[in-house]
């Protein structure tokens, strides 16, 4: 087995694992954004940035998975999926940086969800259809954990 094939298989496995992780981050962050928008709450710019980074992670992982599957089966790879090794390394570093940024934004949930928690909704007790502080804090903790695993 050639080293290039082994590398392609390992990268395919990495992207196979990252697709659901980035999708989970995107879904949880979209819930935050949707609820805040529907209740006319101010949205922090970092939450919008997290949405973009999670979407970029999904797209990069899907394209990486397609490239890995095509190269593993010896099929021809489209031109836009054939970046040089340097560009691939930069893309992976960017995705890793996105995960670290997401973890930093949602690290507030690490203090525990039983007392006061700094959530995107503030200190709201679940009024008007908003998630309560405990639920919001747990979603933040889940997003934090998923971003660490994806990095």
Model confidence over 29-45: pLDDT tens digits?
Answer: 898 888 888 878 788 88
Q: 128 falls in which pLDDT band (50, 70, 90)?
A: low
Beta bridge partners of 132: 125
Q: How many Å apart are CA 98 and CA 117, to the nearest integer?
A: 24
Model confidence over 109-122: pLDDT tens digits?
Answer: 777 666 555 666 55
What is the percentage of the chain residues whose pLDDT exceeds 90? 26
pTM score, two decimals? 0.80
- Mean pLDDT rounded to a whole number for the chain: 81
Q: How many Å apart are CA 143 and CA 149, to the nearest integer?
A: 10
DSSP secondary structure letter of residue 31: H
State residue 66's pLDDT score.
84
Q: 138 falls in which pLDDT band (50, 70, 90)?
A: confident
Q: How many Å apart are CA 47 and CA 84, to the nearest integer?
A: 32
Pick 46 or 130 by higher pLDDT.
46
State residue 119's pLDDT score.
62
């Amino acid at each position: 087995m050639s080293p290039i094939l082994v590398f392609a298989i390992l990268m395919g496995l990495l992207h196979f694992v990252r697709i659901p992780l980035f999708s989970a981050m995107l879904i949880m962050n979209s819930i935050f954004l949707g609820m805040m928008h529907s209740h006319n709450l101010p949205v922090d710019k970092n939450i919008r940035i997290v949405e973009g980074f999670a979407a970029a992670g999904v797209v990069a992982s899907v394209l990486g998975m397609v490239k890995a599957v095509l190269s593993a089966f010896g099929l021809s790879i489209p031109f836009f999926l054939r970046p040089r090794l340097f560009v691939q390394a930069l893309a992976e570093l960017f995705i890793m940086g996105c995960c670290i940024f997401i973890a930093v934004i949602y690290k507030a949930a690490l203090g525990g969800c039983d007392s006061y928690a700094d959530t995107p909704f503030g200190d709201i007790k679940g009024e008007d259809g908003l998630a309560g502080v405990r639920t919001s804090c747990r979603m933040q903790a889940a997003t934090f954990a998923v971003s660490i695993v994806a990095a």
